[in-house]
Structure 1
Amino acid sequence: MPSPEEASTSASPSQAPAPTFKSLGLIDPLLEALEQLNFKIPTEIQVQALPHALQGRDIIGVASTGSGKTAAFALPILQKLWEEPKGLFACIMAPTRELAYQISQQIEALGSAMGVRCVTLVGGMDKMAQAVALAKRPHIVVATPGRLNDHLEDTKGFSLRGLKFLVLDEADRLLDMDFGPIIDKILKAIPRERTTYLFSATMTTKVAKLQRASLSNPVRVEVSEKYSTVSTLLQYYLFIPLVQKDVHLIYLANILAQNSIIIFTRTVHDAQRLSIILRTLGFPAVPLHGQLSQSARLGALGKFKSGGRKVLVATDVASRGLDIPHVDVVINYDIPTHSKDYIHRVGRTARAGRSGKSITLVTQYDVELIQRIETTIGKKMELWPTDAEEIALLRERVDEAGRVAVNELKEQAGQRGHVRKRRRNEEGGADNRDRDDDVVEAGMPTKKKSKGRR
């Protein structure tokens, strides 16, 4: 039998007890909220970031979507708020409206025992109602940069001069979407003495520049493997002629009809068109893209999350940040230009240890792109088996549904034109200043304007 000294020296580091939220230093009200939300074990980013954050350090977190980073920055803010509940306490900037709402919901859930008040400021929603909510002195503001800047300039009595915490979430995407100049203006409107957290899936030169401008002696925590997909994801491709993309998509929807599916397109036009084709053929599909009103976008997400719609047809507005549970299959109708966007898209499935499938439609024009993606992820995709006879039988119905979709889109465009004309006449000229601040989707730059641009 070994002596106590021998026993202590022979114990390996891997036998040390796993960290818990309590051992990381969180207070009881937050521990209770975590228990109610069924957050049992801290994720790797939370284990690395929380001790430094609770000591008051600035944090740079390099972590991919789904890593638990929202709680990693929300928990230390809420803990400090419990100690010093004074005024507007924290501001969190996110690149898209959906992500801003998701962050707000999680903060309110985590701070439920503390009565935390959170306001979400995004484009596409009533600005006056937001100003009224700001007048009620919330503790935390979650915002897209464009609408936050609008309120700083226009809303009487609203300022960030007493701010204690600033969070820049999905910083690489904020900068990809050309929010850099607006963020620079916002940084000038907040106190230099503050705590700042910057989280990003990738560390680009733009993010490094923002880091130098906004953080003071930060601790860097990094948990993401660069450009990787999870082992529980089965990745397939279909090699088809360009003119047969629609019929092959419907073939896939048919054989996967019992699954929840996200279909990713490059353009708003195709997201709309394909959702009409799918609905015409009896599939419960709903579109999600940056040109929908905010209520329509939240409605689409809600229907898909609840299972009311089995198919979500989306542009890259849904590829990052959004926590959409139980997605069985991701179909890439269009291959993304950048490999990292492919990884974010297929990351909507096979989450939290579950299995999932991705299927990418590859035409004669996409061979180089698919080879680049395979090189990046370090694996070859498998060919998805098809039944040529069944596809041939579908073709006539799919072509007819395509004609229905084209006509419906023309009618919608005509109606929008009449509405815009009436508004211009009523208002004496359109004011573009309060345009939606996240219509431009991340990661899919286009060289010229076209009717299908996102």
Structure 2
Amino acid sequence: MDRDRQHKTKKRKISKPQNEDELAPTTTPSLSDLVASIKKNTQAQAQNVVSASSEKSNGVKNGGGGDVKKRKKQSSGDNDVGGTGEGKVAEDVVEGGGGGGGEEEEESKSFKELEIIDQLCETLETLKFHKPTPIQQASIPLALAGKDLIGLAETGSGKTAAFALPILQALYHSPHSTLFACILAPTRELAFQISEQTEAIGGSLGVKTCVIVGGMDMMPQAIALSKRPHIIVATPGRLLDHLENTKGFSLRSLKYLVMDEADRLLDLDFGPIIEKILKVLPPQRNTYLFSATMTDKVERLQRMSLTNPVRVAVSSKYQTVKSLLQYFMLIPQKDKDTYLVYLVAEKFAGKTMIIFTRTIMDAQRISVLLRLLGCSAIPLHGQLSQTGRLGALNKFKAGSRNILVATDVAARGLDIPTVDYVINYDIAGDSKTYIHRVGRTARAGRSGVCVNLVTQYDIEEFTRIEKALGKKLDPLEVEKGEVSLLAESVGEAQRQAIKEVKEWQEKKKEKGAGRKMRTGRRDNMDKEEV
């Protein structure tokens, strides 16, 4: 069985798009007593939360004035599997300026000043990477000096180039090396994205990458591995499948290991699989661990895999970028779909957006619902085939669809630079998930908007998120009369959408049974919502 699967899993005319300035409140919100309840619960704690979040960022404090500050730090530590160090962080390097998603610092250096070779600098300029982002500026010199790294930065901050450039530069000096680096990612889409970006940056060097993920036939992957690519990008379960079952394949000569989105890798319970992988890797290697947040699980992974690492941080533990405007709408559960349709088809019509749901069924149902109402929506979730998932993503990136309805696992880490809005149809289960969701917009210095649909059943979870963020979100107020005009057409579309989703489920069951009989292998990966 595929290991990655085991770790489960009458229409209104659309009005013209509104400007962000039109987000200002226009009426008194409904359910105002619930709004007052939220404010009361959070106001007294907000100041304490701000202090607590900086004190709990694992000993990392923000430096001022754009300077890089260093200090020694000891970490409690077992010398677990795969590392040769003593379970300690040798230094913390904190980048001042806050890592604002690619904003230039007062003393921003060029890639050439970071000692990136001319060949790569020329490619970066062609790709319009003119200046390094804060995470790149802080981490690249350390990586080039041979240090193991823990990189903590917001999504959209340029983490891929931060670890890819040192690897590509090392490969330039060892042109005949193969199976040189392995990059682990939590989802298939992120693996393909990392591969594309790495090949784009390293194109002038003739770099060859190989993507090894679940949900696809192992034989073509084994053939690709036999050709000994320079860099492997993989999901953990499928990589272990090949290490244990593909004749002649090993990573004994590996020089670089990267674990991207490490917090999500561990949230998906890939920890035991990663431990098995680490056991068969050479101890003499460079290891980079990148994550949006630093949790106890990530600390443990650091101890078992890195040797005296340097910690590079450009953001606090729970932080959203300054260019992100965040709102909530307090609405009755029964009217949730109607308010969503109002936002998508009226208030934000024509804009590029991602709608997050907690479950696969809701992602599928909402995408059908919006399509029936004339919106250009497409789903992205774990019950789509690999071809279906990549097809949906490519259509969204290319602009042929402007609305992506996604689950958390499917959309985690995706680099889609022009997302105008994030709508949380379902409230995120925790603050980490919230950070990752809203990180899909306001990337690389751009502005963005997030709207949270909060029902009477979501108040407690929403209050916890506000507490972790250390801020209260503003209500987004709309005319209830405008929303109610959509109720009848939304109701009709809801009934049709439910019917279509049931038919889709039946077809999936039939196809799944046939495929399992033919291959004995489940065509999926990733722990996923149901």
TM-score (norm 1): 0.90
Once the 2 structures are TM-superposed, how far is the Cα of residue 238 of structure 1 from its aligned partner? 1.2
Change (3 A) 1:422 1:105: closer
2:164 to 47, 69, 74: 74
Residues 224-239 of structure 1 mapped to structure 2, 5 A cutoff: 224-239=315-330
Determine if contact 2:352/2:418 at 8 Å carries over to the other structure. yes
1:53 aligns with 2:143: yes
Once the 2 structures are TM-superposed, how far is the Cα of residue 247 of structure 1 from its aligned partner? 0.8
Once the 2 structures are TM-superposed, how far is the Cα of residue 339 of structure 1 from its aligned partner? 1.5
Deviations 1:73-132 (A, max 9, x none): 111111111111212100110111111111111110111111001000011223211111
Determine if contact 1:288/1:317 at 8 Å carries over to the other structure. no
Aligned partner letter, 1:56: G
Once the 2 structures are TM-superposed, how far is the Cα of residue 423 of structure 1 from its aligned partner? 4.4
Please name the residue that 1:9 is paired with. none
Deviations 1:298-333 (A, max 9, x none): 111111111111111111125532111111111111
Once the 2 structures are TM-superposed, how far is the Cα of residue 226 of structure 1 from its aligned partner? 2.1
The CA distance in 1 between the partners of 2:476 and 2:106, in whole Å, is 45
The CA distance in 1 between the partners of 2:499 and 2:286, in whole Å, is 54
1:364 aligns with 2:456: yes
Please name the residue that 2:210 is paired with. 119
Please name the residue that 2:525 is paired with. 437
Determine if contact 2:294/2:317 at 8 Å carries over to the other structure. no
1:165 to 243, 248, 256: 256
Aligned partner letter, 2:126: Q
SS at match of 2:326: strand
Please name the residue that 2:47 is paired with. none
Deviations 1:217-276 (A, max 9, x none): 211111122212222222111111111101111111121112111111110000000000
SS at match of 2:220: helix
1:25 aligns with 2:118: no
1:261 to 335, 342, 353: 353
The CA distance in 1 between the partners of 2:107 and 2:423, in whole Å, is 41
The Cα RMSD (Å) is 1.8
Please name the residue that 1:343 is paired with. 435
Please name the residue that 2:223 is paired with. 132
Determine if contact 2:123/2:201 at 8 Å carries over to the other structure. yes
Aligned partner letter, 2:139: A
SS at match of 1:292: coil
Please name the residue that 2:371 is paired with. 279
Change (3 A) 1:16 1:61: closer
% identical equivalent positions = 60
Once the 2 structures are TM-superposed, how far is the Cα of residue 392 of structure 1 from its aligned partner? 2.0
Determine if contact 2:427/2:454 at 8 Å carries over to the other structure. yes
1:196 aligns with 2:287: yes
SS at match of 1:236: strand
Determine if contact 2:180/2:256 at 8 Å carries over to the other structure. yes
Please name the residue that 2:477 is paired with. 385
The unaligned stretches of length 5 or more in structure 1 are 1-11, 442-452
Determine if contact 2:186/2:264 at 8 Å carries over to the other structure. yes
Determine if contact 1:45/1:221 at 8 Å carries over to the other structure. yes
Once the 2 structures are TM-superposed, how far is the Cα of residue 436 of structure 1 from its aligned partner? 2.5
Change (3 A) 1:409 1:53: same
Please name the residue that 1:400 is paired with. 492
Determine if contact 1:123/1:437 at 8 Å carries over to the other structure. yes
Determine if contact 2:382/2:410 at 8 Å carries over to the other structure. no
Once the 2 structures are TM-superposed, how far is the Cα of residue 388 of structure 1 from its aligned partner? 2.1
Determine if contact 1:94/1:142 at 8 Å carries over to the other structure. yes
Once the 2 structures are TM-superposed, how far is the Cα of residue 13 of structure 1 from its aligned partner? 9.2
Once the 2 structures are TM-superposed, how far is the Cα of residue 355 of structure 1 from its aligned partner? 1.7
Q: Which has the higher contact order (CA 8 A, sep 6+)?
A: 2
SS at match of 1:50: helix
Once the 2 structures are TM-superposed, how far is the Cα of residue 16 of structure 1 from its aligned partner? 8.5
The CA distance in 1 between the partners of 2:268 and 2:394, in whole Å, is 25
Deviations 1:17-39 (A, max 9, x none): 53211111111111111111111
Once the 2 structures are TM-superposed, how far is the Cα of residue 185 of structure 1 from its aligned partner? 0.9
Deviations 1:120-158 (A, max 9, x none): 001122321111111111000000001111111121221
1:182 aligns with 2:279: no
1:83 aligns with 2:173: yes
Please name the residue that 2:35 is paired with. none
Please name the residue that 2:130 is paired with. 40
Structure 1, 329-338 or 198-207: larger mean CA deviation: 198-207
- How many residues align? The count is 427
Determine if contact 1:319/1:341 at 8 Å carries over to the other structure. no
Determine if contact 1:145/1:437 at 8 Å carries over to the other structure. no
Determine if contact 1:265/1:316 at 8 Å carries over to the other structure. yes
Runs ≥4 in structure 1, deviation > 3 angstroms?
A: 12-18, 420-424
Aligned partner letter, 1:261: M
Once the 2 structures are TM-superposed, how far is the Cα of residue 184 of structure 1 from its aligned partner? 0.9
Please name the residue that 1:330 is paired with. 422
Determine if contact 2:353/2:402 at 8 Å carries over to the other structure. yes
Determine if contact 1:24/1:51 at 8 Å carries over to the other structure. yes
Please name the residue that 1:95 is paired with. 186
